[in-house]
Amino acid sequence: MNCSLQQRGAATLGITMLLLFIVMLVAGIANRNLIFEQRASANQWRSTQAFEAAEAGLEWAQAMLASDVLIGADCKPDAAAGNTTFRERLLDVDADTHVFSARTWNDGGNVVPLQAACARSGEGWDCSCPREGHPLLDAPGATGAHPAFTIRFVALARAGQVQLVATGCDRLAADCLPGAPASETGRSTAHAQITLGLLPALAAMPTAALTAVGVIDANGAMTLANTDARAGGVTAHSGGTITLAAATLETLPGVPVETSLAERDEMLAALDADRGTALFLGLTAARWQRLPGLQTITCPDDCRAALEDALGTGQRRIGITNGLQIAGPATLGSPERPILLVVEGPLQLSGGVQIHGAVVHLATAWDTSGTHDARIAGAVIATGNVIGDGTPTITYDRAVLDRLRGEAGVLVRVAGSWRDF
């Protein structure tokens, strides 16, 4: 009988050990699943951070491209001599074909595109926009998440378009800081790209030194010159009649000056003020004023100082809301960096004012009577009539207008071009 009791006790011990083993096995499997879920959650968190950083890079680059403000190496506004805009720092544009390409530098014998990079710090984003070399950023000192991104451009064959590529990382490492040591394992990166298309500063190229949607009836001794064969040597172009009682006209050699006047253009005559503005600016006046990067100025009297301040920061597209009055001497813009002035209200230039670029006048009529001793190299466009006895000198400059049209517009996202990889 004692032997039988010992056998039943041994069976109980065996069953207990078996149950304990099963419990431990189940606990181990559950713990393994928990660890797997924790790792998957961490990977998802890092991947999401990297993806959102890449998206932030695309948005940041578009905002920087829309601005005409000069920047320093930290990508912040800086009007110091030698500084450029973000677009001028990272992109080249062919003056003839208007094809964009990435600016490059020599990295130990390898020609590589310039890039910009940003990293999230405790108080915002710290960025680097070098003129040459790799972006320079220090690792954030604060604790917590510090995603980063880098952006670069890829040339496209189509004029006025360029590809923007952003790489996002969950932390500042090699993938988001070119030239840095290789990234640690377990880190995430994401890539996104879009195609950008240029909305040019001038949607349509004027063909004359002076263009008016309405009539041109001026009796002042103004000078209109156009010796550009591609533009046909047109000095004045209007939707109505042209009467220039005392004007001096300069056109192509051997061509009678009276043939340089293109009047009663039915296409211009059919336009109202909004459609006339949209023809040359691509948008109505109200929508144009909402373009990103555009600076609007309101001057109670002489606008020289305000304009010079705006141009000194790098601005090239400026809207003046209550008229433009400038008493020179003053030089606004240059052949290498022409400007676009869109003026609502009276336009009066005197005292040796010189403008390189295009002046678009938005009003029922431009009374030139207050404009004397002023030179405009580029073109003047009036969405109404041109009247008065002013004496401006307007010289059609195709090179200035080409540069303005190809460089000074807004780069906008092409619909359907986004993809990640």
pLDDT tens by residue, 89-107 = 999 998 788 899 999 999 8
Distance between CA atoms of residues 84 and 95, nearest Å: 18
Among 95, 94, 193, 167, which Cα is nearest to 414's? 193
Distance between CA atoms of residues 121 and 200, nearest Å: 36
* 395 token code pair: 């010289």
With cut-offs at 50, 70 and 90, classify the pLDDT of residue 7: low
pLDDT exceeds cutoff 80 at 112: yes
User: Residue 186: its pLDDT value, please?
Assistant: 47
Distance between CA atoms of residues 24 and 136, nearest Å: 53
User: Residue 143: its pLDDT value, please?
Assistant: 55
pLDDT exceeds cutoff 80 at 390: yes
β-pairing, 410-413 vs 236-238, is unpaired
Mean of pLDDT values over 350-357: 95
β-pairing, 189-199 vs 419-420, is antiparallel
Q: What is the pLDDT of residues 186-223, one digit of tens each?
A: 478 899 999 999 999 999 899 999 999 999 999 999 99
> Where do the DSSP E strands lie in 298-409?
317-320, 324-327, 330-332, 339-344, 347-350, 353-362, 365-367, 374-382, 385-388, 393-396
Mean of pLDDT values over 375-397: 95
% of the chain at pLDDT higher than 70: 90
Among 127, 109, 129, which Cα is nearest to 118's? 127
The size of the chain, in residues, is 421
User: Residue 421: its pLDDT value, please?
Assistant: 77
User: Residue 292: its pLDDT value, please?
Assistant: 87
Give the pTM.
Answer: 0.81
Of residues 174 and 278, more confidently modeled: 278
pLDDT exceeds cutoff 50 at 79: yes
Domain boundaries, given as residue ranges, for the chain: 60-199, 210-407
φ, ψ dihedrals at 400, nearest 5°? -65, -45
Distance between CA atoms of residues 247 and 226, nearest Å: 14
User: Residue 247: its pLDDT value, please?
Assistant: 94
Distance between CA atoms of residues 406 and 98, nearest Å: 6
Q: What is the pLDDT of residues 127-182, one digit of tens each?
A: 999 999 999 887 766 556 688 999 999 999 998 999 999 999 888 776 777 766 55
User: Residue 209: its pLDDT value, please?
Assistant: 97
Q: Which amino acid is present at 153? A: F
With cut-offs at 50, 70 and 90, classify the pLDDT of residue 1: very low
Distance between CA atoms of residues 80 and 245, nearest Å: 47
With cut-offs at 50, 70 and 90, classify the pLDDT of residue 185: very low
φ, ψ dihedrals at 271, nearest 5°? -90, 140
- The mean predicted confidence, pLDDT, of the chain is 88
pLDDT exceeds cutoff 90 at 36: no
Q: Do residues 117 and 150 touch, judged by C-beta distance below 8 A?
A: yes
Q: Which amino acid is present at 301? A: D
